[in-house]
Amino acid sequence: MEKVVVVTGANSGIGLALCERLLSSDSQVRLCLACRNMERAEAARAALLTSHSSARVDLLHLDVGSVPSVLGAAEEVKTRYSRIDFLYLNAGIMPNPTVDIRAFFKGLFSRNVINMFATAEGLLTQQDQLNSDGLQEVFATNLFGHFLLIRELEPLLCQPGHTSRLVWTSSSNARRSAFSIEDIQHRRGKEPYSSSKYASDMLSLALNTHKNKQGLFSSVICPGLVMTNLTYGILPSFFWTLIMPIMWLIRIFTNTFTLTPYAGAEALHWMFLQKPESLDPRAKYHSLTSGLGTNYTEPRIMDLDDEMTEVFFSKLLELERAVRRNLSEKTADSEHYQQYINRT
Ligand SMILES: NC(=O)C1=CN([C@@H]2O[C@H](COP(=O)(O)OP(=O)(O)OC[C@H]3O[C@@H](n4cnc5c(N)ncnc54)[C@H](OP(=O)(O)O)[C@@H]3O)[C@@H](O)[C@H]2O)C=CC1
Ligand SMILES: CC(C)=CCC[C@@H](C)[C@H]1CC[C@H]2C3=C(CC[C@]12C)[C@@]1(C)CCC(=O)[C@@H](C)[C@@H]1CC3
């Protein structure tokens, strides 16, 4: 039977590598590439069809960082498909990153060096901004847009007698100390990326608590450190070229340096092959690469607090109501405006 797989942020990096791997391993897959830039989406589709000429690859316009776009895309999905088997919540941004060079050299000569390379703890900050919906951009893109998409697609994701799966591309950079339940959008801090990824870990757990009975299962993965547009944006490109041999050397000593999008997509692809009942809702599944270059997936228990997770889930539902209210007021305003224009 055909398996409908929707992937957000599928036009490059880990998302595109996942699509390639899914088509190579299962001829029943019907892919839907959900992307904000249709030119890049077309190019990704063409690349996939070059190696899999008979594959079914659909495109969907989705800017996950924009509420109207998410609502429009969800409507489109509902007209196209009767159910969704897998929804990969993969699109993500890390805008204006800064590496703390002093902390890097300090960490390099400390006992924490392996953890520093695996998680970038204490190394990275970002500068966030408000988007057109009045939300913090990183939160809106990495988390809230995906949450709204799930909420809108519930009729396709929660069907009697059928199991649907959500897979979040989280990160080992997700840290509880970067997240504040009083400031879920991370308006005041300097680590919006870490905060948004920790938020996705919590949301996944909450979705399992609330939706497993309806046949919806959620998991989180970390792809490891992968060289993609996102990571190339962290340092100037000449610097990356310079340190590339060192990165491959580090890969021998730490299994979290997956480096290629193919290896980074390991856990995402592995998820596709697992029965949801066999997965631990409190675990993050890591793509890892051994010193000899073998890719594998390993679960690690996340640092989650049940009470905070539930409060966070209620806050998201509250924010969803506020966002919808705001949107319908705006629509009503523009209708009044249109009526006024028509009268004059
Ligand atoms: N690379 C790494 O080391 C790690 C990456 N991750 C996560 O992996 C995921 C994929 O990133 P990666 O492949 O590395 O980087 P890329 O930049 O290659 O991929 C990110 C994808 O997300 C898309 N995207 C960004 N913003 C939006 C938006 N508003 N609406 C729709 N699509 C959007 C991008 O589209 P466009 O081309 O239009 O920008 C792109 O297709 C992210 O969630 C990232 O946080 C996690 C841990 C490590
Ligand atoms: C000078 C050398 C040899 C390396 C550069 C150091 C950092 C730029 C690099 C070290 C750890 C990396 C890292 C990430 C980005 C680049 C580093 C900070 C991530 C934060 C990228 C995105 C993620 O989600 C994480 C899983 C990565 C963790 C490690």
193 is catalytic: yes
- Cβ atoms 65, 35 nearer than 8 A: no
> Residue 325: what pLDDT?
94
Of the residues 88, 193, 262, 285, only one is catalytic, namely 193
Number of residues in the chain = 344
- Cβ atoms 65, 8 nearer than 8 A: no
Q: Please, how many CA atoms are within 13 Å of residue 73, restricted to the half-sphere of its CB?
A: 27
Amino acid in position 128: D
Integer Cα distance of 278 and 128 in angstroms:
38
Q: Give the mutation target among 31, 36, 198 for probing the ligand 1 site: most ligand atoms within 8 A of CB.
A: 36
CB neighbour class for 338 (10 Å; exposed up to 12, middle 13-18, buried from 19):
exposed
Residue with CA nearest ligand 1 atom 45: 92
What tens digit of pLDDT does each residue of 293-322 get? 999 999 999 999 999 999 999 999 999 999
Low-confidence ranges of the chain (pLDDT < 50): none
333-335-340-343 Cα dihedral, nearest 10 degrees: -170
Rg (the chain; Cα; Å): 20
- Give me ligand 2 centre to Cα 234, in Å: 8
Neighbours of 91 (CB within 10 A): 24
Task: With CA atoms as reference, report the closest residue to 162 among 265, 91, 84.
Answer: 84
- The three-point CA angle 284-172-97 to 5° equals 145
Integer Cα distance of 74 and 62 in angstroms:
9
Integer Cα distance of 181 and 310 in angstroms:
11
How far lies 238's CA from each of 100, 243, 244, 300, 313, in Å? 18, 9, 10, 35, 42
Integer Cα distance of 157 and 84 in angstroms:
6
Can you say how many angstroms the Cα of residue 41 is from the centroid of all Cα atoms in its chain? 17
- The reply to whether the predicted model has a pTM over 0.90 is yes
Integer Cα distance of 184 and 296 in angstroms:
33
Residue with CA nearest ligand 1 atom 7: 169
212 Cβ inside 6 Å of ligand 1: no
> Residue 343: what pLDDT?
67
> Residue 333: what pLDDT?
76
- Give me ligand 1 centre to Cα 152, in Å: 22
Q: Which stretches within the chain are classed as H helix?
A: 13-25, 38-51, 67-80, 101-108, 113-119, 137-139, 145-152, 154-157, 192-211, 229-232, 237-253, 261-264, 266-273, 306-343
Task: With CA atoms as reference, report the closest residue to 302 among 158, 174, 114, 115.
Answer: 174
- Cβ atoms 12, 48 nearer than 8 A: no
- Cβ atoms 35, 41 nearer than 8 A: yes
> Residue 64: what pLDDT?
98
192 Cβ inside 6 Å of ligand 1: no
